[in-house]
A = this chain, B = another copy of it.
């Protein structure tokens, strides 16, 4: 079995072989910039790992792996415009380094590129993989729209929130696994189990993200603690706090949510204190563990040896134990 680092290296080498040294510069330079920043390459790694469960020749899955990574980076690029984010992985976002038009158009080109690379699959896999890819891609857009809708939506239920993170985050992880499995030759039942493993891991992954924003260690988190709190982002923690607060605490919480003139540290401290009083950290941890358990139940049903599953198990555990 290849290690995670070996897979990341294979992905990075393969990404470098995609010819992006082209003109016009303002179209292709941002694409190279975005793809060279690196990151954990989680989606292509999952794709290759799923393939390797069934077939040692993981090179067969390298094209969809690259397509998934490029598609994911396209969504980050456009999301950053929509969210008016300035930094991504400590680097200027494309719409900051260049401008918004460049970010829109190079994002569009990245999406096209992902389909162009996917088209290199052999015919027997192309139709089913393209169908899975496009279904997932549309769902990711739906998730992003729901996330934006939540900004102005008075009340968001936990059910709505879970649906949003399923679409925005979980389905792409799930599809990465399923595509790798299909190419590796898994049965429909097995590739569906991997899909479910991806969905549940995706839920747990996003809940961990929400937790890290408030309870991460500033020394290891990589960005500032409390970003979600400052912009009133309707995370799992905030929604649970709104649901479970007694009247006095709710008034206090709403006071801070409505306050437009505040000292950043004070707001973060006040809302974290409310979260601690209500115990939303534990509620979120429990929910995370529930999905992690469901993820491993799916993985356990797969008919390959535990040794072969080890890279996936390790990666899923790492994502939950991560510090950033």
Report A's interface with B, CB cutoff 8 A: 23-24, 26-27, 78, 81-82, 101, 104-105, 107-109, 111-113, 115-116, 119, 123, 126-127, 130-131, 133-135, 137-138, 141-142, 144-146, 148-149
Contacts and interface: CB of A to CB of B under 8 A. Distances in A.
A144 B105 contact: yes
A126 B104 CA distance: 28
Contacts of A112: 111, 134, 137-138, 141
Contacts of A113: 134, 138
Contact of A108 (B111, B115, B123, B127): B111
Nearest to A83: B101
Given A119-B127, A130-B119, A134-B115, A142 B81 contact: no
B127 A123 contact: yes
28 contacts: A24-B146, A24-B149, A26-B148, A27-B141, A78-B104, A78-B105, A81-B101, A82-B101, A82-B104, A82-B105, A105-B141, A105-B144, A105-B145, A107-B108, A108-B108, A111-B112, A112-B137, A112-B138, A113-B134, A115-B115, A115-B130, A115-B134, A119-B131, A119-B134, A123-B127, A126-B126, A126-B127, A126-B130
A145 B27 contact: yes
Given A116-B134, A130-B115, A134-B112, A142 B24 contact: yes
Given A82-B105, A116-B135, 11 more contacts: A24-B145, A27-B141, A27-B145, A78-B104, A82-B104, A104-B104, A108-B108, A111-B112, A115-B133, A119-B130, A123-B123
